[in-house]
Amino acid sequence: MRAVFLYPNLERTDKMIKIEERADGVHICGYVNTTGKPSRPIITPRGKVIEVIEERAFEQALRSNGEVTVSVDHDQSHIYASTRDNTLSVYEDAIGLHADVLVRDKDLIDIAKKGKIRGWSFGMYNVVDDMEQRADDIPIRHIKSLELDHITLVVHKQPCYAATSVEVRADSDMVMETRTFEDESQVTIPKPDYSDFEKRIAELG
């Protein structure tokens, strides 16, 4: 019997994190980011903005990406999964960027089963955007294209899309931006369904 753990956001079903035990390991699935929807006001290299990642921006990024990796809390010294070794499946659909992470690390599996994964985050660079200025409100930053550096599971950091960071890599002048999804979650463990067994026992009796 497969054990399934659900971590639903109480406000948005597209931000549900699903933890499922399968024969090949534990899968962590969910939407890393939605497209076409405005964020809360955030601080970016463009200043304080409301940000919208346009549809197909992730799709185009995935076409050009050589590899996307998965870490925890943006700690790139430990990679838990990647597209290169087929432990990460990631794609954009009508909702946004969806990820399916195959985890075999025992510590991370334990963290997931205890409901300690608090959300998703990702790093991007080479962002192409279009600023929509508004006279009496915060401008809207429309992200047209980007390069996706990595995806991360949020465990210890406070997950909130308003929590962003910008850094310049030491080996280049490339600016890396990170975004983190808010995810107030709860664990739901489904009860085993014994109805088939009970029916068969009744038939044998």
Share of the chain above pLDDT 90, in %: 39
Cα–Cα distance, 97 to 102 (Å, whole number): 16
Among candidate residues 36, 153, 146, 157, the one with its CA nearest the CA of residue 100: 153
Asked whether residue 49 carries a pLDDT value surpassing 60, the answer given is yes
**What total number of domains does the chain contain?**
1
Q: Residues 138-147: pLDDT tens digits?
A: 999 999 999 9
Q: Is residue 15 part of a domain?
A: yes
Q: Is residue 31 part of a domain?
A: yes
Q: Is residue 130 part of a domain?
A: no
Q: Residues 161-199: pLDDT tens digits?
A: 434 444 444 444 556 777 765 544 333 334 455 566 567
Report how far apart the first and last C-alpha atoms of the chain are (Å, whole number): 25
Q: Is residue 19 part of a domain?
A: yes
> Residue 167 has what pLDDT?
43
Cα–Cα distance, 112 to 19 (Å, whole number): 7
Cα–Cα distance, 112 to 28 (Å, whole number): 8
| 134 compared with 194, residue with greater pLDDT | 134
Rg (CA), the chain: 19
The residues, ordered by sequence, that sit 6+ positions from 64 with a Cβ below 8 Å of its Cβ are 147
Asked whether residue 160 carries a pLDDT value surpassing 80, the answer given is no
Q: Is residue 200 part of a domain?
A: yes
C-beta of residue 146 within 8 angstroms of C-beta of residue 57: yes
41-44/175-180 β-pairing: unpaired
Q: Is residue 13 part of a domain?
A: yes
Cα–Cα distance, 34 to 18 (Å, whole number): 16
- Mean pLDDT to the nearest integer, 85-94: 96
> Residue 39 has what pLDDT?
86
Asked whether residue 12 carries a pLDDT value surpassing 50, the answer given is no
Structure-block tokens of residue 31: 């939407």
Domain that holds residue 102: 4-36+64-122+148-204
Under the banding of pLDDT at 50, 70 and 90, the label for residue 157 is low
Q: Is residue 91 part of a domain?
A: yes
Cα–Cα distance, 77 to 88 (Å, whole number): 17
